[in-house]
Amino acid sequence: MTSAELGPRTRVGDGTPRSAVVPLMPARVVEDTGRARAAFTTRAGGASEGAFASLNLSFTVGDDARAVSENRRRFAAAWGVAPADLVEAAQVHGNRIAAVDARAAGTTVPASDGLVTDTPGIWLAVYAADCVPVLVVDPDRPAVGVLHAGWRGTAAGIAPALLQTMTERFRTRPDRVRAALGPAIGGCCYEVDGPVARAMAHASWWPTAARRSGAERWHLDLREALRRQFVAAGVPEASIEMRPECTRCRADLFFSYRRDGVTGRLAGCIRLVE
């Protein structure tokens, strides 16, 4: 689904009536394997108001819990899943990946920014408002994974950490993996300072993913950094899909912490197909 398919730019947070339809952005490179369902949400189709309008899916950002529950109900109905089967990562801006099974249904896994499973019947989710949500499938095992990557997780190598966990747990071969990198703040808008740059400048991908914008300032493309991490770990370039949208640029479609401060969260979700 392209941005155009999601419809024209519309205002949000102004009291305009909103449809209960929840538009989804399928991760085609993952879904085309026939082994998984994978999608990213936008901010459209929810019940939240004000700064969280309208499909905020996170309980942790100050939104009315009743609105978030309704938003999750709408998303689950649109995607054909049971809310009780959700497994979430706590998202601590690190690189820890947790392997989960059906016993984790309905829980939030502490101290984690990524989840992997080979268990059908549960679905994995991460939330973001500028950070990169990533969805991964190993069609041979089969197994799936999800991760949330900000600059700290990217600097700590969260993409190869996920592949390593899948290899250890499921005998995944990286050259068979497919990965979808969701909507996130783009290199057009994500400016970082010297301390952040120095945490990353040793990486092989830094010269390509970053460009200097001033004294001790760089524009950083997190999705390009993650893409190069996956490629370096053995995932074929043709097996990686990157959404082109910048969350900060597109207030009509996405939440953005950099743009708004107080705001909601979109989701990246994945599940195995039985």
What are the chain's domains?
A: 24-185+222-272 (3.60.140.10)
Q: Are 255 and 111 in contact (CB under 8 A)?
A: no
Q: Is 198 exposed, middle or buried (0-12, 13-18, 19+ CB in 10 A)?
A: exposed
Rounded to whole angstroms, the Cα distance separating 254 from 236 reads: 29
pLDDT at 20: 59
Low-confidence ranges of the chain (pLDDT < 50): 1-19
The identity of residue 22, as a single letter, is V
Q: How far is CA 205 from the centre of its chain?
A: 20
Identify the pLDDT of residue 7. Answer: 39
The pLDDT score that the predictor gives to residue 1 is 40
CB-CB contact of 264 with 68 (8 Å): no
Q: For position 21, what pLDDT does the model report?
A: 83
Predicted TM-score (pTM) of this structure? 0.93
What pLDDT is attached to residue 215? 95
